[in-house]
Amino acid sequence: MGKFIISKRTNGDYQFNLKAGNGQVILTSQGYSSKSGCENGIDSVKTNAKDDSKFERKTAADGRAYFNLKAANGQIIGTSQMYESENGMENGIESVKNNAPGASVEDETAA
């Protein structure tokens, strides 16, 4: 089972990573100025991960594949790692679909 990890960036922003059951990061968020914004982002991933049309498949300048997960309003709520192949990227998308909806949340910023 996957889990979301909430952490703080060096600039003070909050972010989350979605990790698969094997501990590999499969989705990383943008920076959020508040923890509640970060938590709303997690809720949005859980909701939108079920919908294949919310995954934007992309190719980086160096030819590696990656994807963005978008909310209903079109805003990017998470970005994948870089994959060497489109097949690897598709496996990453499936992993997000399988792991995100029931993932637990671990807050590393809590005192």
pLDDT at 62: 97
CATH number at residue 32: 2.30.29.80
Q: Write the pLDDT tens digit of every residue in 16-52.
A: 999 999 999 999 999 999 999 999 999 999 999 999 9
- CA-based torsion, 97, 99, 100, 101: positive or negative: positive
Reported as a pLDDT band with limits 50, 70 and 90, residue 110 is confident
pLDDT at 99: 96
> Containing domain of residue 99, as a range?
3-107
pLDDT at 57: 98
* Residue 46 one-letter amino acid: K
pLDDT at 1: 83
pLDDT at 108: 96
Cα–Cα distance, 90 to 58 (Å, whole number): 11
Q: What is the pTM of this model?
A: 0.93
Of 26, 107, 32, 34, the closest CA to residue 69 belongs to: 26
pLDDT at 3 over 90: yes
pLDDT at 111: 59
Q: How many domains does the chain have?
A: 1
**Which two tokens mark 20?**
């698969």
Cα–Cα distance, 13 to 87 (Å, whole number): 33
